[in-house]
Amino acid sequence: MLRKRSVRSVVLSDSPSTGGRSTLLIVAAFAAALLVSIQPAAAQDPLPSWNDTAPKKAIMAFVERVTKAGAPDFVPVPERIATFDNDGTLWAEQPLYFQFLFAIDRVKALAPQHPEWKEKEPFKFLLAGDLKGALAGGEHALLEIVVATHSDLTTEEFERVVKDWLAAAKHPKTGRLYTEMAYQPMLELLAYLRANGFKTFIVSGGGIEFMRAFAEKVYGIPPEQVIGSTGKLKFELRDGQPVLVKLPEIQFIDDKDSKPVAIQTHIGRRPIAAFGNSDGDLQMLQWTAAGNGARFCLYVHHTDAEREWAYDRQSSIGRLDKGLDEAKERGWTVVDMKQDWKVMYPFEKK
Amino acid sequence: MLRKRSVRSVVLSDSPSTGGRSTLLIVAAFAAALLVSIQPAAAQDPLPSWNDTAPKKAIMAFVERVTKAGAPDFVPVPERIATFDNDGTLWAEQPLYFQFLFAIDRVKALAPQHPEWKEKEPFKFLLAGDLKGALAGGEHALLEIVVATHSDLTTEEFERVVKDWLAAAKHPKTGRLYTEMAYQPMLELLAYLRANGFKTFIVSGGGIEFMRAFAEKVYGIPPEQVIGSTGKLKFELRDGQPVLVKLPEIQFIDDKDSKPVAIQTHIGRRPIAAFGNSDGDLQMLQWTAAGNGARFCLYVHHTDAEREWAYDRQSSIGRLDKGLDEAKERGWTVVDMKQDWKVMYPFEKK
């Protein structure tokens, strides 16, 4: 900020009386533009939607510790890896994971091509609007719905289907597009970390191709930094043109114990900061915390029944029970959404 | 280049007569330093170890086409993805894949802990120095050797073992460290692409953790941009400390049809340029070529029996047969190592 200010004052105070000087002014203005784009605006609050409570202070203190050249906890840029869960951490996840709401809509859209679903569980329940009946089949029913709605398409066709759904479908409570329900404080946090040399990754139980359809636009996270659950893919030539077809088989479920495995396989470097909201993220936080040097682990705790939803230990979606205990024990940062966030969603700011 | 020169001339011609001016000079010098570090040195030859033959011209013409703002084939920076095979493309692969030479050395090192190997194929052949006998068991024998030498360690222990081997083991023909046998022209190509906004990835049949142990240092490719074959990993707590243990099971073989699958899973974006040397890379090149807009596919053809090795259609290592035909048919670039490369390895330059 010091540099930026001095550049500006020079630009304003020097008058362009000579050719040399005006060149100089252009150069200085150019330098100022460069500095503005390169330097994070330190004087501006990088996290304006966070209240000035403990979590915001802890985040900023950590970033300062690891980015200050010569400091004992300095971390070189290539090692500044931060991993984020998606559902319930970067965007909302109630009343059901948004990807599952997509799958339900897709069952309805595909039903004419599957007359057998009228008689078949769990599809017949979904088609009759009986969500409870559909989910009574537990994990097996869930998987069957996801597999049926996420396969037998090429990867490009699937991307189009997801993008079309995201552009039109509305959330039952807010009436907003699902992508409008990313948490504003987390969007600021992602940008703040990146401005400080961090590479931000999603490490989520959600489907990798579902998330990639919006992660770059909504979070600024490119597809190669999105890690998630995957289905099997098959390479084939169709009329001489290569395509990748989504097969109806699960390849990898990116949850719990599998999150550190996915981080190792995909990133190959241990994060120095990790952000989650449920017990499914606990191993990712443990793995992150166990590295040498400064580490930062944060849980988003859903405490705001009014602006969002309040749930933790008893919830079937995003249960936070063991994780909450371990966070307290180990001094990890826990965000109380009601207390710590000024704004929940970007649309509240308008 | 133009901007850089004008900044310098300003710095040299203006005398620091006032406080405002000297601030300005500091700013201008700072701007110059920034520009030098940001702009690729366009006047220097970025590929000095390449002869001025067709491949070099094709590479540079392609890079110009996709990076020139406003041009019809312009590609935005985030989409400038380039994928490289490793063995035989970025470093040598004869007389055997270097990772397999590592595995043989490791069988010898581990033999005292495995007295049963004295009687067991293929290990007994390796321990008796009979490579041919060991390889007679075909793919099954190979896999058995790799699995036995690459598992039952934590990921961190394995990285240490590989790094120690790479720091000491010498290649049987050149007497050099294996990491000294990266191809100098390809190192220049990697740097040239990155200077033009490309993200460079390895997509190799080699083991992902074996390659990551040297890829950042040797190629400037960080671990998250290295994709390879993987073994299964298991997350566990040892005395409360989380570790990832390499299990004796293959998770994914990154070869042939699986290369586009790995690209989709790991990168989630189709490359615009791909580089390989064998039929194992053909599907990666096909997948790359099939995208919209400008595309670049290149095969390294091993034609230099003197400085390196000459092999293609009949070789059991790095066979290039179908790929060579398809490259000719489709007008892909084929590097004739003997004709097109001035220098093979970095150590030749000294």
The ipTM (two decimal places) reads 0.87
Answer for the pair A246, A152: CB distance below 8 angstroms, yes or no: yes
Answer for the pair B11, B32: CB distance below 8 angstroms, yes or no: yes
Rg (CA), chain A: 23
Task: Compare CB distances from B241 to A27, A266, A290 and report the shortest one's residue.
Answer: A290
Give the per-residue pLDDT at A142: 87
| Type of residue numbered B268 | G
Answer for the pair B301, B319: CB distance below 8 angstroms, yes or no: no
Helix (H) or strand (E) segment spanning residue A330: helix A322-330
pLDDT by 10s per residue, chain B, length 350: 333 333 333 333 333 333 444 444 444 445 444 444 445 445 699 999 999 999 999 999 999 999 999 999 999 999 999 999 999 999 999 999 999 999 999 999 999 999 999 999 999 999 999 999 998 988 889 889 999 999 999 999 999 999 999 999 999 999 999 999 999 999 999 999 999 999 999 999 999 999 999 999 999 999 999 999 999 999 999 999 999 999 999 999 999 999 999 999 999 999 999 999 999 999 999 999 999 999 999 999 999 999 999 999 999 999 999 999 999 999 999 999 999 999 999 999 86
B30 in A contact zone (CB under 8 Å)? yes
Q: Which of B145, B275, B297, B148 is nearest to B204 (CA)?
A: B275
- b/e A40-62 (16+ beta carbons within 10 angstroms → b): beeeeebbebbeeeebbebbbeb
The Cα of B233 is separated from the nearest Cα of chain A by a number of Å equal to: 6
Give the per-residue pLDDT at B78: 97
Chain B (150-169) residues lying within 8 Å, Cβ to Cβ, of chain A = 155
**pLDDT under 50 in chain A at which residues?**
1-38, 40-41
Cβ contact B234–A261 (<8 Å) = yes
Give the per-residue pLDDT at A10: 31
The Cα of B251 is separated from the nearest Cα of chain A by a number of Å equal to: 10
**C-alpha torsion A262→A268→A269→A274, nearest 10:** -20
Task: Compare CB distances from B28 to A28, A241, A287 and report the shortest one's residue.
Answer: A28
Helix spans in B95-154 (H): 98-110, 123-127, 131-135, 138-149
Q: What is the pLDDT of residues A119-153, one digit of tens each?
A: 999 999 999 999 999 989 888 898 899 999 999 99
Cβ contact A222–B260 (<8 Å) = no
Cβ contact A264–B155 (<8 Å) = yes
Give the per-residue pLDDT at B42: 52
Rg (CA), chain B: 23
Q: What is the pLDDT of residues A229-245, one digit of tens each?
A: 999 999 999 999 999 99
B212 in A contact zone (CB under 8 Å)? yes
Full-model pTM: 0.88
Give the per-residue pLDDT at B201: 99
Q: For an interface test with B, which of A264, A270, A272, A295 has the most B Cβ atoms less than 10 Å from its Cβ?
A: A264
Q: Which residues of B touch A21 (CB under 8 A)?
A: 14
Answer for the pair B27, B62: CB distance below 8 angstroms, yes or no: no
Helix spans in A39-151 (H): 54-67, 98-110, 123-127, 131-135, 138-149
Answer for the pair A215, A162: CB distance below 8 angstroms, yes or no: no
* C-alpha triplet B188, B193, B198: angle, nearest 5°: 150
Answer for the pair B327, B313: CB distance below 8 angstroms, yes or no: no
Give the per-residue pLDDT at B350: 66
Percent of chain A with pLDDT over 90: 84
d(CA B115, CA B139): 24
The Cα of B128 is separated from the nearest Cα of chain A by a number of Å equal to: 35
Give the per-residue pLDDT at B8: 34
Give the per-residue pLDDT at A232: 97
Answer for the pair A134, A125: CB distance below 8 angstroms, yes or no: yes
Helix (H) or strand (E) segment spanning residue B57: helix B54-67
B151's tokens: 């598992």
